[in-house]
Structures are given as C-alpha cells and as structure tokens.
Chain A
Amino acid sequence: MTQGKVTFKPSDEVDFVIVGSGASGGVLAKELSTNGFRVVVLEQGPYLTPADFSHDEIKVWVEHQLTNNPAVQPQTFRKTPQDKAQRQYAVMYGRCVGGSSVHFTANYWRFHEIDFVEHSKVGNIPGAALADWPITYADLEPYYTKVEWDIGVSGLAGASPFDPPRSKPYPMPPLPVKGNGVIFERAARKLGYHPFPAPMAILSQPRAGRSACVNCGFCLGFGCEVGAKSSSLAAAIPVAEATSRCEIRPNSYVHKVEVDKNGRATGVLYFDAKKNTHLQKAKAVILAANGAETPRLLLLSSSPQFPNGLANSSGFVGKHLMPNSGAMAYGVFEEPVNDYKGFCVSRIMHDFYELDHQKLGFYGGGGVDARFDMTPAAFAMGGLPPDTPKWGKDFKKALHHNFTRTVEIFCHGTSLAVADNGFSLDPDVKDAWGLPALRMTYKDHPNDLKMMEWMSARAMELLDAAGATTKWAQPIQEQQFAVHLLGTCRMGKDPKTSVINADHRTHDVSNLFLCDGSSLVTSGRGQPTMTIMALAFRAADRITDLAKRGEIS
C-alpha cells in the first residue's frame, strides 16, 4: 500500500464510518472525503489490487477470491415464510475492496422515468407491493451524468430512441463492436427493433490514469488487471485515499451498529482479521454493505430499545427483495464469432422496456443484450446445447466447434416487490464468527415468470432472425440464487412503509444512513449498479448539506 495514507484509531470519532466499499460505499467515501469529512470505510473482505487479479477460474469460481465464501458464511434458503430454510448457497456478492463492482459485467444503463413512478402509473398489482420512489428520474439525472463522467462510462448518447433525457453526452465513445453485437444488431433491425451500442462502465479510452480495455475476455467474475473496468476500486477509492481524510480498513467485519440511550448511533462494532472486536466511533454511520448485509446488520443490531432490529419500526427491513428476472437463449453460428475476446456486451436494445401489460397480461419490461460471459471451463460445464454428450469425442468436438461460435441472448427484467421475499436471520445456522447466518426467502411473483417466458420467446426469435444454426433456451425456473440484492430497506416518504427517506436517512435513527441496493424501491429492468452509484453520489450531496447545516446529530 502507498505511504502517506491516513489511518485513524477506532477511538477517534471520525465524521463518518461507512460499512462497505462497493459501488455505493466507494462513491460515498470519495465524495464525503473530498467534501472535507474524515471517513473510515470498513470492508469485510481483503484489499486486493490489480496485481492480485488473474484469469484463474478456480480462484474465482471455486475459491471465492472476490466474493463471499459460503463455507465460512453459510446461507439458508426457503421459498416461503412457512418453510424451514435449508443450507444453500443463495446469495453471491463482492467481498473485497470495491465490492461487486470489481467482478461485475459493467452494463451501465440508467433507469428510465417509469421506474420511479410505476405505482402511480400502474396501480396495485395483486401480490406485489409496488410503490413510487420519493425521488424521480429528474432528481437523479445529474448524478447519472456524474457516474458517467467521474467513474467512466463508454456509450453513445441519443443512440436509443427509448433513452430518458440526459444533460450531457457520454465522456467516451462506445467500446468496439463484437461479433455478438453485429449478429444481434442485424437480427434486431430485421425484426424492427432498435439496437444500440451498450453503455458500459469500461473505459474505451485511457482516462484519469487508467488504461483502456485490452479486451482480455475475463470480465464477469473477474477483477480487471489494467483498471479499465470502472469499479469503485479503480475509480473511486484512489480518489478518496488521495484526500488523506479517508482510511479504507479491509478485513473488518461489522456486526453491530452501536446506539446510545438517546437512540443515536455512536459507531460500529467489527471483528478484525484475528476476530478481535473493536468499536469504530463516528458522528454518523452509513451502511453500504449491500442489499443482503445491510438489512442483516440492522437485524443483528437489535436491542431492548430496538427489539425488531435497528431502524425497523416499519417492519420493512429485509423485505421486498428484488433480484431481477432473467431469461437466456443461446445460438451457435456458422463462422467463428470469437466472443471470448473483449468484454461481455456491445449491443443492447430497450424496445421491451415498457411493455403493454393490458395486452400481454403481465406487468414490467426488460432490456435485451447479446453477450458471451462464460470463461472456458464455465463454458464447458454449461455452454453447450443441452443434448450434447458430456464426455468423449463428441463432447470434445462440440467444445472445439462451439466455443468460438456461441452467442447468448440475455433478457433482463423487472422483479416485482413481494413482501415475503427477503432476508432475515437464520434461527439455527451460524457463520464462522458465531453470528446468525443470512436466510433468504424467495418465490418469484407469477407475473415475473410470465414475463420471462415471453422474453425467452423473443430471444429465440432474435436467434432465428440472426441465422443461428442451433439454438436453445434455458427453461424459466423459479429463482433460488440472487446477485442483484435490491429493495430490502426501501426508500420512501412514509416511515410506516419505508426504512429510509429521500436523503437516505433512516426514519428511526437520525444519524444512521443506508445507501446501496437495499434503497431501491423498484428493480428497474435488470441492471442496477449504475443506479446504486448514482444514488450514492446524490446521497453524498444530501448528507453533506445536512452535516454542513448541523442537522446530523
């Protein structure tokens, strides 16, 4: 680590302690330290740098180098609150400095106007808890722009007729087109759709001391060795540290928010790497630990004063999990596409962003992209047509032919908020620190499954139009595994039906703020990270204003 970085003692009462260093925590750290505040960021995972990143699928997929390890952090899963949860690997999130932004695919679409006002537009949907956001697209627009320019997003403004209004073009041209992009663009145009260059949080040109993408092909699941992927680690944390007002403290696993007798947060308790407990004192606490760990931490922080968990007077902490729905179809093409080169996605379309729910019989919408996000071993285990032999010369022949010729159409879509879906503490299973394990309860709203069936059929039509020689769709199943952790401490005006207000301040504890995927009220159409970062930029502005006016106490 570089010399001259600031360190604080746990007993130093800093201005803010931020729990989590991912898409939101990293941005909050950058903004608040830049604004003059003293900040400590506690990250449960290690502080890895590009030199630690590799293309080793064992490290990434088996040893969980960048993500939570279910061996020491077990999870349980059940479909409904009536079921007994069983141990299952149900949630994957980034567990290193930079969080999930280190290993993500980097699709950076903005949410559209509709995502913020769905309830007003659509009304109630049986079985779902649809609500409007307390902010609109217009409130967030400047911060989307900030993400694009400060963090680094490549794209082409005005290329999609469905795009919401924007105040500035992208700072960089789109990444080069891939074979999958050309195939997708031609097929989509043939069917009358409007494909466009994918906005990606990957640098197409060198910027701010970071390299442009070198097209290595190891994006999803892997850390970027040249800093081209616009993770918090590459784009925000270094700026925060350069202020000399921000300490990133890795291997620090927070397990309780401390509250005094007046109901004010005084700091957080965490385990260091040796499992010794410390109290980091702070004037205000910000949880940016992700949509699973933020609610878990609030529930772990229950006390006689807050028997249902901290900031949970609404009972909404951990509820309404929206993991986004997905449908995948695959095609094999005659000539080598070589989609293992480059990044994952170069063309997308938003023609299905707002579907006609009266006509189709389901609510929601989605985005569609063409991609290849399977690294070689992962491809051999899951990328061949389902009827391919799994061993022997025909298996090998298929690998040889298909690896360079396979294209995936990925449909991303809405998840409706359902009250019973979410995270709670498992009553029996404990993690390696003796804390109650994360329990996930989830059953897709029937609406989401219907929409995915519809999207899957469209993906197959696209593959047909593209001239795929072989094509197949992954069957639509109820989801039991989540990586998009959204909605579990939703934002709202009414303290009875939300956990935080539009300033990200919890309704119940005046100096406790939450900002991550848990803040979202609706799920958008499948790509949430850009919105999480935009919210963090906005939250930093709001929190700075409050602090400067002396209104955080």
Chain B
Amino acid sequence: MNSSQATRRQFLLRSAGAAGIAWANAQWPSILAAAQHAHESAKSTAKPHFEVLTPEQARNVEAIAAQIIPSDDLPGAREAGVVFFIDRALKTFASDMVAVYEKGLVEVNQLTTQKFPTAKTFADATPEQQESIMTDLAEHLNPPAGGSRRRRQAGSGDFVQTIWQHTIFGFLADPEAGGNRDYAGWKAIDRDPAHSFSPPFGFYDKDYPGWQAASLETEKK
C-alpha cells in the first residue's frame, strides 16, 4: 500500500469507529474504490478565475448567494466557492442561462438603487439593505406547480429561482460538480464527507437489538 492509499484509508476509517474496522477490512477493495472516487471528487474542478461573469457580475452573484446561504460559525456560499461553481455552470450545463443572469443582475441592481439610492449595485448595499431586497426577491421562490420531487430541473427562466437552485447545487453537490469547496457545504449540513460508511449510522440504530418477529404480546397489544 502506498502512502496516498494509506491516507485515504485513514480518511475512511475515521468515520468507521472501532466496530467498523473489521468490517472495513473485509470490504477493503470496494472501499478503496469509493475512497479513490472521494479523493478525486474532492478536487473541485472550478477554476479560481471567471470565464463568463464579469468581475462586477461575479461580485453581485456572490453577494446574492451569500444572502441565500450566509456565513456564520459554519461555512456559507462564499466559503464553498459557489460563485466559481456558477461561473462554470454558465459555461457548461447552464450555458443557456447566461442571458437570464445578465438581465436578472441588472434588474436586481435597479431594484437596489430604487430602494437604497446610495447603493449602486446589490453588492454595494449594506447587509441589512441586502436582506430587505432579498425579502422582495424571495417571492419568486415558490415550488413549481405540479412539481414532483423527482423533477429537479434548473431552467425555469426566472432569475431568482435559477440563482437559488445554482447556489444550492454549488453549495451541496459533490465537489466534482465544481462547488462545495473542501466539502464546506456538507460541513454546514452536518454531513460526513466520507463516501462509505458502516453501521450503526446514527442515534436510533445504535442500540438496535436485532430483528425479531412480532411477539404474541405485541400482536395483542
């Protein structure tokens, strides 16, 4: 085993706990494959410069994303590099949304200046002013009519809905997709960044006695 494999092994076993180690050893080849995957995907593919957004657009996209998922003691959209994810998205799977962003950002900035004449763009507004503008914008965030949870398509053409979806994807999708830098988003939702686990998984299954057929007492109840 070379040293990078050993590191990955530690990375996985960290979450496995003592009881998991025997299991992990038995499953080693599969875990290695999963770990390899995790390792590769942790390297976010987004570039640290912008290819579609202008610097000013990027500043505003970042400010809106940071209002959707703010930074506090846990990482927010900023720390996860959501703006880089969105720039890459506009070059790849969401290339048909460039015009929606261009127009949307102009409108958001107009709304900003209307409400707060001293702020030239959304990013220039104070955090309190930004919140007030977001409150207006959030009216667009209704679930799509007749929506199924299996239908998770971006592309409604509505800017607020689109940037909301892109922010979430950039925050929480696997880093392989270009966001969620260093698993910042998963940290914020309390998700272990490992890509394989062993039971018990959480609080409720840790003292499970094992499956038993319902007893007569249970039957009578």
Contact = CB atoms under 8 A, between A and B. Distances in A.
Interface of A: 50, 54-59, 61-63, 89, 92, 156, 159, 174, 176-179, 181-183, 185, 189-190, 192, 194, 196-197, 211-212, 214-217, 225-226, 228, 328, 333, 335-342, 374, 376-382, 389-393, 395-396, 399-400, 403-404, 474, 477-481, 483
B189 A399 contact: yes
B101 interface: no
B137 to A, nearest CB: 9
Nearest to B69: A396
Contact of B204 (A50, A61, A179, A396): A179
Interface centre among A214, A380, A392 (most CB of B within 10 A): A214
Contacts of B141: 390-391
B192 to A, nearest CB: 8
Query: Which 4 A-B pairs rank lowest in CB-CB distance, beginning with the nearest?
Result: A338-B202, A335-B203, A211-B30, A214-B196
A216 B201 CA distance: 11
A462 to B, nearest CB: 15
Nearest to A403: B189
Interface string B129-152: 001001000100101001011111
A176 to B, nearest CB: 4
A114 to B, nearest CB: 23
Secondary structure at the A interface, as helix, strand, loop or mixed, is loop
A303 to B, nearest CB: 36
Interface centre among B195, B197, B202 (most CB of A within 10 A): B202
Given A56-B173, A336-B190, A393-B70, 20 more contacts: A54-B176, A57-B169, A58-B93, A58-B169, A62-B169, A89-B151, A159-B211, A178-B201, A179-B202, A189-B214, A192-B221, A197-B211, A214-B27, A214-B196, A392-B131, A400-B189, A404-B190, A404-B191, A480-B146, A483-B150
Interface of B: 27, 29-31, 33-34, 37, 41, 67-70, 72, 74, 76, 89, 93-94, 131, 134, 138, 141, 143, 146, 148-154, 164-165, 168-169, 171-174, 176-178, 185-186, 188-192, 195-199, 201-205, 208, 211, 213-214, 218-219, 221
A382 to B, nearest CB: 5
Contact of A89 (B138, B149, B153, B221): B153
A390 B164 contact: yes
A280 to B, nearest CB: 33
8 contacts: A58-B178, A89-B151, A176-B199, A215-B196, A215-B199, A226-B30, A399-B189, A479-B148
Given A54-B174, A183-B204, A396 B211 contact: no
B72 A393 contact: yes
Contacts of B177: 56-59
B164 A341 contact: no
Contacts of B199: 176-178, 215, 342
Contacts of A177: 199, 205, 208, 211
Nearest to B185: A376
Contacts of A189: 214, 218
Given A228-B30, A391-B138, A396 B190 contact: no
A457 B66 CA distance: 39
A457 B185 CA distance: 34
Contact of B152 (A62, A178, A474): A62
Contacts of A59: 176-177
B169 to A, nearest CB: 5
Contacts of B196: 214-216
Interface centre among A156, A179, A339 (most CB of B within 10 A): A179
Given A58-B177, A89-B153, A217-B197, A211 B169 contact: no
A480 B131 CA distance: 36
Contacts, number: 205
A14 B72 CA distance: 65
B189 A179 contact: no
B27 A212 contact: yes
A376 B202 contact: no
B150 A182 contact: no
A206 to B, nearest CB: 8
Contacts of A392: 67-68, 70, 131, 134
B68 A216 contact: no
Contacts of A390: 138, 141, 164
Contacts of A341: 192, 197, 201-202
A376 B191 CA distance: 9
A348 B27 CA distance: 27
Contacts of A62: 93-94, 152-154, 169
Contacts of A92: 150-151
A57 B34 contact: no
Contacts of B211: 156, 159, 174, 177, 185, 196-197
Contacts of B169: 57-58, 62, 377
Contact of B176 (A55, A217, A333, A337): A55
B31 A395 contact: no
Contacts of B203: 179, 335-338
B220 to A, nearest CB: 9
A336 to B, nearest CB: 5
A82 B196 CA distance: 51
Contacts of A57: 169, 172-174, 177
A190 to B, nearest CB: 8
Nearest to A58: B177
A39 to B, nearest CB: 30
A172 B131 CA distance: 55
A11 to B, nearest CB: 40
Given A215-B198, A341-B197, A377 B150 contact: no
Given A57-B169, A393-B72, A404 B41 contact: no
A341 B190 CA distance: 12
Given A54-B41, A382-B149, A390-B138, A335 B204 contact: yes
A391 B197 contact: no
B202 A337 contact: yes
Nearest to A195: B214
A181 B37 CA distance: 28
B191 to A, nearest CB: 6
A24 B76 CA distance: 45
B30 A212 contact: yes
Contact of B168 (A178, A181, A381, A404): A381
Contacts of B68: 391-392, 395
Nearest to B40: A54
Interface centre among B69, B152, B186, B204 (most CB of A within 10 A): B204
A476 to B, nearest CB: 12
A477 B149 CA distance: 12
Contacts of A396: 69-70, 72, 74, 76, 188
